[in-house]
Amino acid sequence: MKATIYIVDDEEIHLRFGKKALEKGGYNIETFIRSQDFLNAVDRSVPDLVLVDMIIPEISGAELIKELRKRSSILPIVVVTADPRIESAIQAIKNGANEYLRKPINPGELNLMVEKLLDYSQMREELQSIQTDNQKKYSLESLVGECEQIQSLKAFIRRVIEYPNATILLTGESGTGKGHVGRIIHYSSQKSNKRFVDINCAAIPEALLESELFGFEKGAFTDARAPKKGLFEIADGGTVLMDEVNSMSASLQAKLLSFIETRSFRRLGSVDELKVDLRLISTTNSNLNEEIARKNFREDLYYRINVVSANIPPLRERGSDVIILTTHFINEFNNQFRKHVEGLTKSAEEKLLEYEWPGNVRELHNVIEHAMIFTDRDTLDIDELVLGMKPRTTTGDNTGTENFIARSLSEVEAQHISDVLNYVNGDTTKAAEILGISRKNLWEKRKKLNLE
């Protein structure tokens, strides 16, 4: 679709010139001599870009820019003027303009500037759309559940989001949703319009993790051919979530401790100190007190990352939340797969409530996704729920083999991936879309799980 550009200028000759120059670029052009007519048109339909003359009757160019900024914070504005003074350009930018052109305008320069601003504007709109989607996806309401632990967790989140730089520790078993809670904290706070950076400390080799966090200068090591910003620098003003923080080496723990104390660091190979303003959220599924006792985790670092903390409860302790979450996931996959599953049979509910859920909410999500892919019924039944663990025994000795996992989580994952691939007749693009991962990630999982 062609971009629409509005031009406002009190001289007809400049309007005709600007329109002719931009129409060669394939844009839809509307011109206005009166500033009020121009503003009325913007109110009816916001264009993709505007060219504004600084000196026009009725409303000055400076006031016009302010009025435009009230209507849109991302609308690209180009100021055009015959004033040769640099102060005039500086003032236009201060008032909210993006770029500045002096008359007489060079058509080639004008088209290049417009093209650049439209590309930048499209990128900003896409980022703003992603941010809006994330704010909905990770709202406080996305923390589904009614049990006492979840209500306490919601109260915790409401409190900590009021303190943008509070250092937070989230603990809990794998799959309970620590990362999701971290994102809720970010996207519900005043930092929501800034970057959220998630880094899995266990997934990155120790030799690379330091450079990922702090960045490096050209020549800092053999392959450092160009300088690179670290994640702390990239997230300046926003939030960094450090998943499995307990997996960091002792030397890196010391550097993290120094960073938390000063909020400053040096890139590898640099002597310059960089200071950032960000919220740090750490997560772990380990007992850090036990890790400290084993000399695997620094006690002083523990106190630094544990300024405020919350434990995410395992699914087996959340009672009827299992069914509430299941209903939520069924609705999610109804939308995604265009199905109309209404709920669970009574026997299916009982099966889900009896299960131990070693993989917690993540495992429940996968179980329901698998069932929703293959069901042709209006209600999910017991035979469609593929679980990896036997139900808890309610009689006899509870320490027996009844609580052992019948199939490992990797086996359950392998079966699920195989089922999806069979369902789409081996189409890896469709399979990756259903699984919610990239084709590269799917390929890596198939290789790891020996799936041909």
pLDDT for the residue 314: 97
**Residues 147 and 263 both lie in one domain:** yes
The answer to whether residues 147 and 113 belong to one domain is: no
Whether residues 170 and 287 fall in one domain: yes
Residues 289, 332 within the same domain: no
Quote the pLDDT of residue 374: 92
Please say which residue of 284, 312, 340 terminates a domain.
312
pLDDT in tens, 327-347: 999 999 999 999 999 999 999
Residues 201 and 265 in one domain: yes
Structure confidence at residue 406 (pLDDT): 53
CA-based torsion, 51, 56, 61, 64: positive or negative: negative
Residue 78 shares a structural domain with residue 121? yes
Strands 264-265 and 274-275: antiparallel
Identify the CATH number of the domain in which residue 65 sits: 3.40.50.2300
Q: How far apart are CA 370 and CA 387, in angstroms?
A: 10
Please state the φ and ψ torsions of residue 171, each to the nearest 5 degrees: -115, 160
- Which pTM does this prediction carry? 0.69
Report the C-alpha gap between 202 and 83 in whole angstroms. 59
Report the share of the chain in percent with pLDDT over 90.
56
183 shares a domain with 37: no
Last residue of a domain, one of 312, 342, 366: 312
pLDDT along the chain (452 residues), means of 10: 88 89 90 91 92 80 86 88 74 84 87 89 77 88 96 97 94 96 96 92 87 90 85 94 94 95 93 94 96 95 96 96 97 93 96 94 95 93 81 42 52 80 79 78 80 71
**d(Cα 405, Cα 83) in Å, to the nearest integer?**
78
Q: Assign residue 328 the CATH number of its domain.
A: 1.10.8.60
Residues 300 and 367 in one domain: no
> What pairing do the DSSP bridges indicate for beta strands 99-102 and 77-81?
parallel
Encoded tokens for 165: 């730089």
Angle 124-142-320 (CA atoms, 0-180°, nearest 5)? 165
Task: Please report the pLDDT score of residue 407 as a whole number.
Answer: 59
Token representation of residue 36: 């009020």
* CB 247, CB 207: distance < 8 Å: no
Q: Are residues 34 and 163 in the same domain?
A: no
Q: What is the pLDDT of residues 254-280, one digit of tens each?
A: 999 999 999 999 999 998 999 999 999
| Structural domain span for residue 297 | 140-312
The three-state (H, E, C) secondary structure of the chain, written as one string: CCCEEEEECCCHHHHHHHHHHHHCCCCEEEEECCHHHHHHHHHHCCCCEEEEECCCCCCCHHHHHHHHHHHCCCCCEEEEECCCCHHHHHHHHHHCCCEEEECCCCHHHHHHHHHHHHHHHHHHHHHHHHHHHHHHHCCHHHCCCCCHHHHHHHHHHHHHCCCCCCCEEEECCCCCCHHHHHHHHHHCCCCCCCCEEEEECCCCCHHHHHHHHHEECCCCCCCCCCCEECHHHHCCCCEEEEECHHHCCHHHHHHHHHHHHHCEECCECCCCCEECCCEEEEEECCCHHHHHHCCCCCHHHHHHHCCEEEECCCHHHCCCHHHHHHHHHHHHHHHHHCCCCCEECHHHHHHHHHCCCCCHHHHHHHHHHHHHHHCCCCEECHHHCCCCECCCCCCCCCCCHHHCECCCHHHHHHHHHHHHHHHCCCCHHHHHHHHCCCHHHHHHHHHHCCCC
| 29 and 64 part of one domain | yes
Contact criterion met (CB below 8 Å) for 238 and 186: yes
Phi, psi of 178 (to 5 degrees): -65, -45
In this structure, are 324 and 243 located in the same domain?
no
**CA dihedral sign, ordered 318, 324, 327, 328:** negative
Do the Cβ atoms of 273 and 266 come closer than 8 Å? yes
**Which domain CATH number covers 184?**
3.40.50.300
Residue 273 and residue 327 in one domain: no
Peptide bond into 104 cis (omega under 30): yes
| Burial degree of 436 (CB within 10 A; 0-12, 13-18, 19+) | exposed
**CA nearest 81: which of 56, 59, 64?**
56
Reading phi first (left if > 0) and then psi (alpha if -120 to 50, else beta), residue 215 is in left
Separation between Cα atoms, residue 234 and residue 223, nearest integer Å: 21
Residue type, 448: K
Final residue in a domain of this structure, among 256, 284, 312 = 312
Strands 99-102, 215-216: pairing kind: unpaired
Work out how many domains the chain is built from and give that number: 3
Give per-residue burial for 392-405: e unless 16+ CB within 10 Å, then b: eeeeeeeeeebeee
